[in-house]
Amino acid sequence: MNESRTISYTCPYCGREFGVEVFDSVIADDSPDLRDRCLSGDLFRVSCPHCKQEYMVQYPLVYIDRARRFVLFLNENEELPMMVKNLAETLVKAGYRLRRTPTLAEFTEKIQIFEDDVDDRLVELAKYDSLIEFIDNKKGSAADVTAIDYQRTENGVMKINVRTGDKGMSFLIPLTMIEEELNMSPERYELNADFPVVNAAWLIDLFEPKPDEKSLN
């Protein structure tokens, strides 16, 4: 069941109010149209009827794909609502992959990754490797990079795009190579939270010395 309601929203440009339809949950396999609008981000695009400005409005949303068994919780807050927390245990038992995505960009990318049936931890490793290769090949510095995007996985090869402004450079990474990297220390990459976040910050944090490790030095 896809649940939507209309909320009163104050336009950040003109300060006037208008009604915005927001969804609490989307069940992708029930409504391909809503799935498409999530993937394109259109579901979050609004147009102010007063000043005609168009922009994105992000709000908490539970996205469920029963066929591919994953649930995404779009929310920038770390704190999970009780309803979502209670859902977690049941879903994990049923074999679902759960993720929280703090941003809209991560949300749409994660749908793509899970629809390709790829382990998103491998994607973050591949993105990091692409960035290192980009810098090592003197294509630019880390500061030039505006985004690192997952494109797709085909025939065992993952395609990552490193973007600098309006330019992009593609990197093709064999899945077996990143799997090997992950399997060297699988415990490092274990996910423990109910709705874990798997993004660049997650990966970087894994390699940060923890406070108790620091004191040993």
- The residues of the shown chain that bind Zn ion, judged by CB under 5 A, are 11, 13-14, 48, 50-51
For the CB of residue 10, give the shortest distance to Zn ion in the complex, in Å: 9
The answer to whether the CB of 125 falls within 8 A of the CB of 133 is no
Nearer to Zn ion, 13 or 167 (CB): 13
d(Cα 52, Cα 87) in Å, to the nearest integer?
A: 39
For the CB of residue 20, give the shortest distance to Zn ion in the complex, in Å: 12
For residue 120, give every residue at least 6 positions away whose Cβ sits within 8 Å of its Cβ, in sequence order, or none.
Answer: 99, 110, 113, 114, 198
Nearer to Zn ion, 22 or 91 (CB): 22
Nearer to Zn ion, 52 or 138 (CB): 52
For the CB of residue 57, give the shortest distance to Zn ion in the complex, in Å: 12
Nearer to Zn ion, 11 or 160 (CB): 11
For the CB of residue 38, give the shortest distance to Zn ion in the complex, in Å: 24
The answer to whether the CB of 2 falls within 8 A of the CB of 27 is yes
The answer to whether the CB of 13 falls within 8 A of the CB of 51 is yes
Nearer to Zn ion, 14 or 94 (CB): 14
For the CB of residue 58, give the shortest distance to Zn ion in the complex, in Å: 17
**What is each CA distance from 9 to 19, 34, 56, 61, 141, in whole angstroms?**
6, 21, 12, 17, 40
The answer to whether the CB of 129 falls within 8 A of the CB of 182 is no
